[in-house]
Structure 1
């Protein structure tokens, strides 16, 4: 698997599909790896250049000491696109990945021609909530927290499915230092003002049973950007690309056609 030293750490990434195709950068959520996007790939249009990476502290990327700042996470994404000589990408970010997408668009609009803000917000939770989460991962570890996190991640329907164990194992394998570091980045982020200044094609996606970023929170952020719209996936939680991959890919495909990306 390709690894590059970007922004002073080793970052694991994948660059797949048509090397001359329209680039799509996927940025995953807290406690997941680039494999979060596996379920949707077969349902996307042909001819795309698909870019994915493990956020610092996650998967096969390096785990520097916590805390991390959102500015650092944005710079990681920026460095990857520069390393791959990519501009004008569609950036699809989920949860913390959607925060990184907002920050990247604010900083480097030349790199981002359109974005999908999935199950995310300009500000998520309260500083106290994230402090408690950081304390919990350091004292108890992710396996002790994973049952509660699964309830926030997935709908009632998905809770009974055997695939749940795969995603639970992915979470539990996340390095505690990396998880705590990214919690700190979310804790310190409020993008309401910068995001309200963005002018680019934007699609919001929310899950009706999302326990981490409820639909009203996603809507509030999407409405900051003129012309943006929100799509709601019913009976779906925080990771709709896992629960409803075909429906999720169809929303992305329609958006790509609308914006002329394909």
Structure 2
């Protein structure tokens, strides 16, 4: 399995080259997943993205990227890992795709290091607020006392839309059980202490995908982010997926995959 050591973090990643049977695009996409998921969250949409180079990794402390207690985990540190992995793979700039907690990273990077970001895709992005902070703060003692089963037994049903299948919920459950409690807690604290990115400083083309019944990153928050972006009108887009909860790429991969493909094709 490929691992890269960046910023003293050992990150498990996958680097998918464009398919030889398609006309390849010059664009490279890098994907950041959310709390409780892994790089596998994105794999259901990859049949739509065969024209591009796609780099996916397990966030530090998630999946196969082992967490070392006492080390920093924050939106800023995840952003540094993204840039470090791009450097490791000799990629100058990329389209940055983020989901949930990871949905804060594209706007963070676009506001801080715009020369590295071609465009941003935000899938169910979390907008930091005192209310959001409290939700994730409350998860910490539960995981400390009951382990990841406390999340795996609840989230697959509570965080999906009404049309989510039993197989999709089982896939979500498996991703949650793949987390170490210490790594999960560290990422909960990253959300708890997160501050809103500099939305007004984001000037790159941006696509936001929201779920109509998403309780973790409600559509209202996505609309707020859309309105705050400094991106020129006509180069930003917000799409709300009817009946979809918080696990967009798992619940409706065909819809999400096509939206991302169409967005990137227009760049």
Give yes or no for TM over 0.5: yes
Partner residue in 1 for 2:178:
173
Partner residue in 1 for 2:210:
206
1:130-168 deviations in Å (ceiling 9; x for gaps): 22111211112121232332234311221x423311221
SS at match of 1:97: helix
Q: How does 1:32-181 map to 2 (within 5 A)?
A: 32-44=37-49, 46-65=50-69, 68-123=73-128, 125-158=131-164, 160-181=165-186
- 1:107, CA displacement in angstroms? 2.1
Structure 2, unaligned runs of 5 or more: 19-23
1:174-232 deviations in Å (ceiling 9; x for gaps): 1111111111111111225x122211100110011112111111111122113322101
Aligned-pair RMSD on alpha carbons? 1.8
Partner residue in 2 for 1:240:
248
In the alignment, is the contact (CA less than 8 A) between 1:215 and 1:232 conserved in 2? yes
Q: How does 1:221-260 map to 2 (within 5 A)?
A: 221-225=225-229, 226=231, 227=233, 228-259=236-267
SS at match of 2:63: coil
In the alignment, is the contact (CA less than 8 A) between 1:56 and 1:64 conserved in 2? no
Structure 1, unaligned runs of 5 or more: none
Alignment CA distance shift 1:246-1:186 (3 Å): same
- 1:21, CA displacement in angstroms? 4.0
- 1:3, CA displacement in angstroms? 0.4
TM normalised by structure 2 equals: 0.90
Cα distance in 1 between the residues matched to 2:68 and 2:48:
35
